[in-house]
Chains A and B, each alone.
Chain A
Amino acid sequence: MELLLLIILIFMIVGSIIAIETKNLLSAVISVGVVGFCLSIAFLILGAPDIAITQVVVEILILVILIRATITTDNTAIERHWDTFSFISSLIFFGLFLVFAWLAVQELPRFGEPLLRVSSDYLETGPEKSGATNIVTGILLDFRAYDTIGEATVLFTSIVGAFVILRRRGRKHRKDMDREKVGILQDEDIKKDFRGF
């Protein structure tokens, strides 16, 4: 079991290296898809079928949206200035991060032996108290419904934000309207420039 997870994780790391370093943006997006589907398999192995289903479907939607973003535009990423200083400094800092992460991981509970302080209560009394045999749904909508309503709010906010950004014609600035009245913006070229904003 652990060996299988190890192979999948190494495969995910290789996929993300390809996604990061490929020049062609479409190939990078497809490599991200590979990483996501591997993640779904890992969830399935780790005993989380709910999340595996969600991850598969969400991954498809992520791919559709990202391909929609890249396909109409120029899809080769040309790194113009190779910045040696930033490359080396980021390598040093991430190396330091990994060293401290390795030290911190030693203090965590060993893999396969979770603490289960809160969850053991949910597991024992969940089916009686909530009536749902899927304990994850029972936690999501009964024991911790406050969390769910918060997350629904976050989803709503992000969607509304995207709408505001994509809206075709925003309201005019009061200043521009005043200028138009006075006649500063009569010139067509200046008007065209302002329409870009």
Chain B
Amino acid sequence: MVNLPDEVGDPTKGMTSIVKTIVRFVLGIVIMFGAYIVLYGHLTPGGGFAGGVILACGYITLTLAFGRELALRKMGDTAASILDNSGALAFLVIGFLGFTGGYFFLNFIDHGQTFRLFSAGIIPLCNIAIAFKVTSSLFAIFMALSIFGRFMSRLVEEEE
């Protein structure tokens, strides 16, 4: 069960308490599954893109169930933008580190034994960087659309 502060039980924000309780149970599993998909991307189906979208889905579930304020407290817009940029930057830095062995995106770390978690050189690191990038950018775009939508619904009410 995800540990969320008690004030989010505020019935005026978000959905009903049934949804909130279910989300408390499910959210940890969703985020754990996303992390699994990212970390085991080089052994099983998955990878940075799919896992990143799953993690973003977890955050969006939190937003939809508990309202926007709580989700923004967990990951603010500045944090999302910094994570987005640092994910892209980490991917580039990993690529440039390949110049230590000769060329761009060289797999310069030892491959290790196949079927182990710590194998395949730079591929897990690249997966993690891409996952950070995809998660934070999708979360940020959802928050932007949601804030704009709130503004728009107010506009429609004013019209009526």
State whether B137 touches A134 (Cβ < 8 A). Answer: no
List the B side residues contacting A162 at CB < 8 Å.
141, 144-145
- Determine whether the beta carbon of A133 is less than 8 Å from that of B114: yes
Is B140 interfacial (CB-CB < 8 Å)? yes
Q: Tell me if A53 is interfacial: C-beta within 8 Å of chain B.
A: yes
* Nearest-Cβ distance from residue B85 to partner chain A, whole angstroms: 9
Q: CB distance B126 to A141 under 8 Å?
A: yes
A61 touches B112 (CB 8 A): no
Sampled A-B contacts (24; CB under 8 Å): A54-B50, A57-B54, A61-B142, A64-B142, A65-B142, A68-B145, A68-B146, A73-B152, A129-B107, A130-B107, A131-B121, A134-B42, A134-B46, A134-B47, A137-B41, A145-B126, A146-B105, A148-B126, A149-B95, A152-B88, A152-B130, A155-B133, A159-B84, A159-B140
Q: Pick the residue among A60, A142, A163 that contacts B141 (CB under 8 A).
A: A163
Q: Taking each of B45, B88, B112, B140, which has the highest tally of chain A beta carbons within 10 Å of its own beta carbon?
A: B45
Given A73-B152, A152-B91, A155-B134, check contact A53 B120 (CB 8 Å). Answer: no
Q: Which 8 A-B pairs have the closest CB atoms?
A: A131-B111, A131-B120, A132-B42, A49-B45, A145-B105, A132-B120, A72-B153, A54-B50
Q: A68-B146, A142-B123 are in contact. Are A134 and B45 (CB under 8 A)?
A: yes
Cβ of A78 under 8 Å from chain B: no
Contact assessment for A137 and B91 in the assembled complex, using a CB-CB cutoff below 8 Å: no
Q: How far apart sit A146 and B142, CA to CA, in the bound complex (Å)?
A: 28
CA distance A52 to B95 in the complex (A): 28
Chain B positions 37-83 with a Cβ under 8 Å from a chain A Cβ: 37, 41-50, 53-54, 56-57, 60, 64
Question: Which B residues form the contact surface with A (CB < 8 A)?
Answer: 37, 41-50, 53-54, 56-57, 60, 64, 84, 88, 91-92, 95, 104-105, 107, 111-112, 114-115, 119-123, 126-127, 130, 133-134, 137-138, 140-142, 144-146, 148-149, 151-153, 156
A156 interface contact, C-beta 8 A: yes
A57–B46 alpha-carbon span in the complex (Å): 12
A45 within 8 A of B: no
- The interface size bin for chain A is 35 or more
A137 touches B123 (CB 8 A): yes
> B57 → chain A, closest Cβ, in Å?
6
Q: Contacts of A49 on B, CB cut-off 8 Å?
A: 45
